[in-house]
Structure 1
């Protein structure tokens, strides 16, 4: 965020292959699919990552029961912890990303809710 590059995504666990700059495999497909249904600036852990970790969560993982999905997904609640220390900078960053049309604005509003938890 400090470099004005919002990070969105998903972390999965599984097999994949890399050739040149191309990654293929079930883990890549899973991460891409879960990334597409989130509605915020953040990184979630997919079901394969959750199953791999079981209850041994590393310090960079947070439980958050309100991860915003584009459709109901009540059982996935792990994400990467992050915070943003300068609230004014955060609001200025979001303001510059306008126009805040209905398809985009929820991502920013949901992110603010997560950071204010």
Structure 2
């Protein structure tokens, strides 16, 4: 998990991961999308490869990179404890309960004639 967290700490590496989210790309095409030098992009790709977040395949003279999202599992599991700790789920559940309670009370207050007017 630490290796994955360290790898995604850099914004260039995060951008590379986003690029690889949907398809594999050759190293040259990845490098062309950045203003930094090709050797710098190559170092970022090496960090991602060593962390296991990307795999590379040599096809002829081109090296293709593809995402291996399975390496995120431990980090996601660890981060999830903080998402639960915020209480957002409880707050949204409480809001939903309040909305249903308010609707129920309004229906009870409405006379049969008022209910009929609303449906007409």
Q: Given the two structures, how large is their TM-score scaled by the length of structure 1?
A: 0.22
Of the two, which has the highest radius of gyration?
A: 2
Q: Given the two structures, how large is their TM-score scaled by the length of structure 2?
A: 0.22
